[in-house]
Amino acid sequence: MTGTPPSGAPDVLALHRRMLLIRRFEEACAELYAAERIRGFLHLYVGEEAVAVGALDVLDPGDSVVATYREHAHAIARGLEPGAIMAEMIGRAEGCSGGRGGSMHLFDRARGFLGGNAIVGAGLPNAVGVALAQSMREERALTACFFGDGAVAEGAFHESLNLAALWSLPVLFVCENNGYAMGTAIDRALAQTDLAMLASRYGMPAQKVDGMDVRAVRAASAAAVDGIRADGGPAFLECVTYRFRAHSMYDPERYRDRAEVDRWRARDPVLLHERRLREEGLLDDAGAGALAAEAEQAVAAAIAFADAGTLEPVADLYRHVYEER
């Protein structure tokens, strides 16, 4: 699914297929959470699919990805098997993190997916560290780091951008600006809400992108990645997007009104791209139905794989926790 050369024309149907898969996967997670099959915290990506799909489509297999606690979509877009992700969600040993990480800590070393992080902004210095290693090894690889607008208020954001620029590190910073840090609107938390302009002050290319348009995100990401590979230094994308669901499944969502959500839902990235494909003659009713059915079947298979999984043996409870001497 990944590895399309940045200079190549995008496979627009493949982009749409991945967004559909992510949307159905997230909807299924909400259903499983309501049925108490998934426990703990659950942060869904519904509405933001264009960002993960567009940005990750231009990476090479040898690149690394650092995500947030809202990272199911990043994992799927990076090529992790939906079954392994779903098994992780319900705590099975066949999960991508052995059933120990759950929703917020998906991991796959082979695909360079270095995990989500439950701490706001904590992935930023991690990504800079990975990029530093890539630079010191003189690799062609880069690190893509995803984070929300809430992370911009953290000191780690400024320290990470400063070091990445100072040391000319190969980092693609992707800010998923959905307008809210949990329940706090961006203009109530940040004195400067133009995040691309803020990032540019650290001496790196920075661009604001329509995060509801998968092709716009892909094009901006491709240009940024080309620049990083050519010059070695970082780049920053502010993808303006919106989560249609609450911050988490525990969130009563009393901080925004229904009219605002409805306005953004009118720009649903999946429906917008489907409409564009139809206008271009690349999709009709039969094709759209087939793609939807394909996503439904893939998620059903992922759930079946997870259901057939096993619980970690009690004897392994202390593995990876205490060092044996």
Tell me, letter by letter, the H, E, C secondary structure of 204-259: CCEEEEECCCHHHHHHHHHHHHHHHHHHCCCEEEEEECCCCCCCCCCCCCCCCCHH
Tell me the pLDDT of the chain (325 aa) as tens digits: 333 333 345 799 999 999 999 999 999 999 999 999 999 999 999 999 999 999 999 999 999 999 999 999 999 999 999 999 999 999 999 999 999 999 999 999 999 999 899 999 999 999 999 999 999 999 999 999 999 999 999 999 999 999 999 999 999 999 999 999 999 999 999 999 999 999 999 999 999 999 999 999 999 999 999 999 998 899 999 999 999 998 888 888 889 999 999 999 999 999 999 999 999 999 999 999 999 999 999 999 999 999 999 998 888 888 888 776 6
| Tokens encoding 62 | 């040898």
2 CB burial (10 A radius; 0-12, 13-18, 19+)? middle
What's the CATH fold of domain 12-316? Rossmann fold (3.40.50)
Domains of the chain by residue range: 12-316
What does the alpha-carbon distance between residue 70 and residue 184 come to, in Å, rounded to a whole number? Answer: 17
**Per-residue three-class SS string for the chain:** CCCCCCCCCCCHHHHHHHHHHHHHHHHHHHHHHHCCCCCCCCCCCCCCHHHHHHHHCCCCCCCEEECCCCCHHHHHHHCCCHHHHHHHHCCCCCCCCCCCCHHHCCCEHHHCECCCCCCCCCHHHHHHHHHHHHHHCCCCCCEEEEEEHHHHHCHHHHHHHHHHHHCCCCEEEEEEECCEECCEEHHHCCCCCCHHHHHHCCCCCEEEEECCCHHHHHHHHHHHHHHHHHHCCCEEEEEECCCCCCCCCCCCCCCCCHHHHHHHHCCCHHHHHHHHHHHCCCCCHHHHHHHHHHHHHHHHHHHHHHHCCCCCCHHHCCCCCCCCC
